[in-house]
Structure 1
């Protein structure tokens, strides 16, 4: 009886703490913004564990070549490189960055529904290319939504709470993605092909449509008038090069930002080199069933939660650069472990390596990037940062695809892991901490 009372008392205490938390009972606008960001992130997590995880698997089962898989990763990045600066200009013309992000996020999420309906209207022989085109075009609205999202995040919560809010967001994203991957993996093995993948894509659209809904209730101060003036000045009748140069002047004169880009771009290139090869290796070499592929995602995202907790605490003790270098070194083992897997079951421990390590890479890169960017012109700096990352995401997968066709999938994965280990050395020029 005392033990039962003790358990009841503990559960009552937990319930009371939850009831009093700022998430359940927000008392300020900042608390409400944080809760809305959590809800927004949870909806994104369903799509992350759904269409984002299983579209490459669907293409692999349709017989897509390594070259097409490479373009699935590269084509969106290439298009986004050319669209991010115009997208930032469009974003900066509006004082209400929340409304801008909501409008373009809805357009982006609609592409998931188009992917779900495509097998009904596109012949099977042309379906891989059609899905590639649809997925590539999602970056058109993303070019505006991404810089607006960064500007909103910078103003929705104070710098004092930003690290905590981001840690909770990332952990929540990992948990929801893990659950979604497990459910969708089970669903794929119990529904006939290709309707199983269409169901995954449709559910991804349905849940992700709630993302802009929750985001629309975030309240931040209007964007500074000076930014709108700069955006308007960009549209005046002057030479294209001069307009571009004037608009980019704040970025060109920011040395810490360029040091960050120079130190991280080689690593981003190596990181993306094996990205189009994993799904092909799982399906063609290891013959992994969809349930196991879904379970692999669950393990990876589950360990990701623990990784955020561990690396987040270590960042305060050893510095963000040390966290970035250590986690990137562990992450380099992921493509190596995948390539050396003797059977599909070994994808699970490989996924655990990925989940634990990528959390530290996220924390290190994001916080060091914020430290390198000045507070003004946030949409512009976010656009340039994303543009540089997307350039690496364009080149890396194409190199990986070409390397796999010249050698083998396993060899290309091994080369990708070695390249990641070597490019970590460039991080030594970054500041030790922020």
Structure 2
């Protein structure tokens, strides 16, 4: 009971807030189980001899859907009095796609497995994009402006610990069971995390919001102008989103390259790939605690600069070696900085977002993210085919360093919500 009491948040929370904190953490356990399958999805396709373009699609498809639907979905959610039910059901829908992936690879003829899996994850992009909006709004409503770092540190620490443990056992399973049965068992088994997430996330209680009503009888242009005008007035929001867009381009460019680099250039067995992912995920836990302390002592801007700089080095360092031991060490170092980035990007974004229009603003911020995620993975895989995987990873590192420079020379946000 003492552990659960401490898990459920700071001592000064009221009973509703304490239950919310606890439900958020247990939801994180469910998500952590499902997240353990995520890094192996592209590895599975690579072992099924998917092309670089097809693996790039796995990253680009959610972004393409998000770019097209982000504003309509944000407008829809802005009209809802309470979006917790949408948060729960969309999370369940996305995670169950892992189970569908496992069943598809069992039931479909081999030549149809890759198209079938890509179709499943193409359909998953709609709830996936709605979920990304709901997550920011719900977490901000649960924590408030003063509790964002604390809540997300608790959630991502528990989520990371769950994922690290699950990934470790996945690695053992993948090496001991024949392919593709090993991946089928992993994808189907870990989808139980979706049920855990659904049961507890739907219990989160946040105040109802006043739905934004767009006046009828106006033209599409007038309605669009009314939608965009409040965003144009928030200069801090636009500045942060554009800088994050550039940095995210460097992250997205490397996403399809790492599994290809591990499988096709270094020829790593699944056990080593699991070890790399386990190390990076486990170190995240230490990183969350470290950066939370640093934010209290030095402020969030210091966290932003150190995290963006440190994470920029990972693709470059990985491209310089074929040693699985060194890559595992570099992945652990990257995990430290990734933890800071997770915390500070969420907090810095929500500082610039008016609470009463959070769904609308978050959807616009996501739209820029999706634009980077559409183009960058395809550029990355194209560069890898022209120049090789190592040089393509170095390009990703350079783009990230430029993004760090933009944050470093820019002024911190003046208006904070």
Does TM-score exceed 0.5, indicating one fold?
A: yes
Aligned to 1:351: 331
For the 8 Å contact 2:152–2:343, the answer to whether it is kept is no
Counterpart of 1:42 in structure 2 is: 29
**Cα separation, partners in 2 of 1:310 and 1:157, compared to 1, 3 Å:** closer
Separation in structure 1 between the aligned mates of residue 96 and residue 201 of structure 2, nearest angstrom: 16
* Most deviating of 183-192 and 317-326: 317-326
1:81 aligned residue:
67
Is the CA contact 2:150–2:292 (under 8 Å) kept in the aligned structure 1? no
2:217 aligned with 1:260, yes or no?
no
Which one of the candidate residues 290, 294, 297 is aligned to 1:317? 297
Paired with 1:364 and 1:101, the residues of 2 have a C-alpha distance of 22
Q: Is residue 2:126 matched to residue 1:140?
A: yes
Q: Return 5+ residue gaps in structure 1 as ranges.
A: 1-14
- Among 174, 197, 220, the alignment partner of 1:211 is 197
Residue 431 of structure 1 aligns with which residue? 412
Q: Would you say 1:187 and 2:167 are equivalent positions?
A: no
Match of 2:43 in 1: 57
Query: Which residue of 2 is the match for residue 381 of structure 1?
Result: 361
Alpha-carbon distance in 1 for matches of 2:285, 2:7 = 21
Match of 2:17 among 15, 30, 52: 30
Instruction: Indicate the residue corresponding to 1:300 in structure 2.
Output: 280
Alignment of 1:157-306 (within 5 A): 157-224=143-210, 227-230=211-214, 233=215, 236=216, 238-306=218-286
* Structure 2 CA distance for partners of 1:148 and 1:363, relative to 1, 3 Å: closer
1:157 and 1:193 map into 2 onto residues whose CA distance is 44
Q: Give the match for residue 317 of structure 2.
A: 337
Q: For the residues of structure 2 that align with 1:314 and 1:145, how far apart are their CA atoms? A: 29
Structure 2: runs of 5+ lacking an equivalent: none
Post-superposition offset of 1:342: 2.5
Question: Which whole-Å CA distance do the structure 2 matches of 1:43 and 1:106 have between them?
Answer: 10
Give distance in 2, aligned partners of 1:19 and 1:142.
Answer: 30
1:333·1:353 contact (CA, 8 Å) conserved in 2? no
2:141 is equivalent to residue 155 of structure 1: yes
Structure 2 partner of 1:6? none
- Tell me how far 1:41 sits from its aligned partner: 0.9
Report deviation, 1:351.
Answer: 1.3
Deviation at 1:346, TM superposition (A): 2.5
Q: Tell me, yes or no, if the aligned pair for 1:321 and 1:432 is still in contact at 8 Å.
A: no
2:355 counterpart of 1:371: no
CA contact (8 A) 1:69 1:277 kept: no
CA contact (8 A) 1:33 1:157 kept: no
Cα separation, partners in 2 of 1:423 and 1:151, compared to 1, 3 Å: closer
The C-alpha deviation readout for 1:342-372, integer Å capped at 9, x for no partner, is 3323321121122111111222222211111
Q: Contact 1:322/1:432 (CA < 8 Å) preserved in 2? A: no
List aligned pairs for 1:66-77, cutoff 5 A.
Answer: 66-77=52-63
Q: How does 1:411-430 map to 2 (within 5 A)?
A: 411-427=391-407, 428-430=409-411
Matches of 1:19 and 1:78, distance apart in 2:
40
Contact residue 320 and residue 432 of structure 1 kept, 8 A: no
Shift of 1:420: 1.3
Q: Provide the secondary structure at the position in 2 that maps to 1:96.
A: coil
Partner Cα separation in structure 2 for residue 115 and residue 310 of structure 1: 37
What is the Cα-based RMSD across aligned positions, in Å?
2.1
Q: 1:430 to 1:376 in 2, by over 3 A?
A: farther
Q: CA deviation at 1:228?
A: 4.1
- Secondary structure at the aligned position of 2:267 is classed as coil
2:349 counterpart SS class: helix
Q: State the shift of 1:330 in Å.
A: 1.4
- Whole-angstrom distance in 2 between the partners of 1:42 and 1:116: 21
SS at match of 1:273: helix
Q: Structure 1 CA distance, aligned partners of 2:322 and 2:258? A: 15
Q: 1:304 to 1:413 in 2, by over 3 A?
A: same
With 103-112 and 276-285 compared, the bigger mean Cα shift is at 103-112
Work out whether residues 175 and 302 of structure 1, in 8 Å CA contact, stay in contact via their aligned partners in 2: yes
The answer (yes or no) to whether the contact 2:91–2:131 under 8 Å persists in 1 is yes
TM-score scaled by structure 2? 0.93
* Residues 168, 274 of structure 2: 8 Å contact kept: yes
What CA distance in whole angstroms lies between the structure 1 residues aligned with 2:404 and 2:147? 29
